């Protein structure tokens, strides 16, 4: 399963260090670690060859007699050490014994004893193993064989041989503090890159001028009341200022007309009127002609 993770720890200090690191990263999957139960020693051992003396929280793992065959150990949800059987369904393969193919080549008979040349091949069910710890088989003197046909020997293992081969991505534990720091720095940059957010696409920036929709009737009523109050307030102010606006406009018009009249050219006689009349008094007849002018004009007497 690609979601599973496999890590091999050399010491308990490495285990504590990486357990804290996994917890900080928020990893929730099972972390399968490179440790297995040894029946011959009745104890848990790291795959690198050191005993595991950690305190198990899981009750099953505390009882070594109840440990399943081919069991491996996992960190469960960053909190517990849990003993689980390796199985193909979970992405890990195990076998309790291994087979050795021994191919021999016959040598001519001599008076002295001869040493057989052997080729040992280990077969494992896991195809994802990148390195396998093998035990050198000592050569035997005085062995002769007349046949060149390869023989197959099934040799039971001294203890359960359980290799948790992760079929997905494997996490290899760095061996030095500098390598750990480089690995953590790299992971920190990757996490920062994944967590980086462009502020231009955030809702706080996109919708800063947009009101949130509220379908509640009470919210709509409050909105309507607010709109009406604002409309009445500004409408009242406008109505009160209408008379002042009218007087201001009227005064402005009168002022403009007065200025226009002042700019016209002046005349001493304009629009005068003339009236002639005749009167008879006794034997005398009078003809009177009168005229009247405005704007500084003088009266012109009649003849």
Where is mean pLDDT largest: 78-82, 139-143, 227-231, 283-287? Answer: 227-231
Residue 204: what pLDDT? 76
Q: Are 106 and 148 spatial neighbours (Cβ–Cβ below 8 Å)?
A: yes
pLDDT-wise least confident of 118-127, 178-187, 189-198, 274-283 = 118-127
Where is mean pLDDT largest: 21-30, 169-178, 220-229, 247-256? Answer: 220-229
Measured in residues, the chain has a length of 303
Kindly report, residue by residue over 153-174, the tens digit of the pLDDT. Answer: 444 444 343 444 443 333 444 4
Q: Report the pLDDT averaged over residues 41-65.
A: 65
**Residue 167 CB contacts under 8 Å (≥ 6 apart), including other chains:** 1, 2, 4, 91, 92, 128
pLDDT-wise least confident of 36-45, 95-104, 260-269 = 95-104
Closest CA to 31 of 187, 126, 181, 166: 166
Q: Report the pLDDT averaged over residues 34-52.
A: 72
Q: Are 268 and 297 spatial neighbours (Cβ–Cβ below 8 Å)?
A: yes
* 217 band by pLDDT with thresholds 50, 70 and 90: confident
C-alpha span between 13 and 8 (Å, rounded): 12
Strands (E), the chain: 5-7, 31-38, 43-46, 71-76, 80-85, 98-104, 118-122, 151-155, 273-281, 284-292
Residue 169: what pLDDT? 39
| pTM for the full predicted model | 0.28
Residue 123: what pLDDT? 41
C-alpha span between 37 and 63 (Å, rounded): 12
* 194 band by pLDDT with thresholds 50, 70 and 90: confident
Residue 230: what pLDDT? 93
Alpha helices of the chain — where are they, by DSSP H?
12-25, 59-62, 177-195, 203-206, 217-262
Domain 5-93+163-195, CATH number (from 3.30.450, 3.30.70, 3.10.100, 3.40.190): 3.10.100
Whole-number average pLDDT of the chain: 61
Residue 132: what pLDDT? 40
Residue 70: what pLDDT? 59
Residue 225: what pLDDT? 92
* 107 band by pLDDT with thresholds 50, 70 and 90: low
Where is mean pLDDT largest: 67-76, 81-90, 138-147, 294-303? Answer: 67-76
Query: How distant, in Å, are the alpha carbons of 10, 25, 83, 175 from that of 172?
Result: 11, 16, 21, 9
Better pLDDT: 255 or 192: 192
Alpha helices of 30-95 — where are they, by DSSP H?
59-62
Residue 244: what pLDDT? 84
Residue 15: what pLDDT? 73
| pLDDT over 80 (residue 262) | no
Give me the residue spans of the domains in the chain: 5-93+163-195, 98-155
Q: Are 201 and 38 spatial neighbours (Cβ–Cβ below 8 Å)?
A: no
Query: How distant, in Å, are the alpha carbons of 191, 212, 257 from that of 201?
Result: 20, 17, 62
Query: How distant, in Å, are the alpha carbons of 5, 26, 46, 175, 184 from that of 35?
Result: 14, 23, 4, 17, 23
């Amino acid at each position: 399963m690609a979601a599973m993770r496999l890590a091999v720890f050399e010491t308990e200090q490495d285990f504590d260090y990486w357990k804290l690191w996994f917890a900080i990263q928020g990893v929730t999957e099972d972390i399968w670690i490179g440790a297995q139960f040894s029946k011959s020693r009745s104890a848990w051992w790291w795959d690198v060859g050191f005993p595991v003396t950690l305190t198990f929280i899981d009750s099953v793992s505390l009882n070594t007699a109840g440990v399943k065959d081919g069991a491996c150990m996992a960190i469960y949800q960053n909190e517990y050490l849990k003993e689980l059987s390796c199985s193909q369904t979970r992405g890990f393969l195990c076998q309790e014994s291994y087979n050795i193919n021994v191919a021999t080549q016959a040598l001519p008979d001599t008076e002295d004893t001869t040493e057989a040349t052997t080729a040992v091949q280990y077969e494992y069910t896991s195809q994802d193993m990148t390195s396998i710890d093998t035990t050198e088989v000592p050569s035997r003197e005085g062995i002769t064989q007349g046949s060149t046909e390869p023989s197959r020997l099934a040799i039971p293992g001294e203890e359960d041989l359980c290799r948790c081969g992760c079929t997905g991505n494997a996490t290899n534990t760095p061996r030095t503090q500098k390598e750990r720091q480089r690995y953590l720095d790299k992971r920190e940059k990757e996490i920062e890159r994944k967590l980086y957010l462009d502020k231009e696409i955030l809702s706080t920036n996109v919708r800063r001028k947009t009101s949130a929709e509220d379908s509640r009737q009470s919210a709509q009523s409050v909105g309507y009341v607010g709109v009406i109050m604002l409309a009445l307030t500004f409408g009242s102010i406008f109505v009160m200022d209408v008379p002042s606006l009218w007087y201001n406009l009227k005064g402005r018009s009168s002022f403009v007309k007065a200025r226009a009249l002042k700019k016209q050219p002046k005349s001493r006689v304009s629009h005068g009127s003339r009236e002639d009349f005749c009167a008879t008094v006794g034997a005398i007849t009078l003809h009177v002609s009168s005229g009247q002018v405005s704007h500084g004009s003088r009266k012109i007497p009649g003849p």
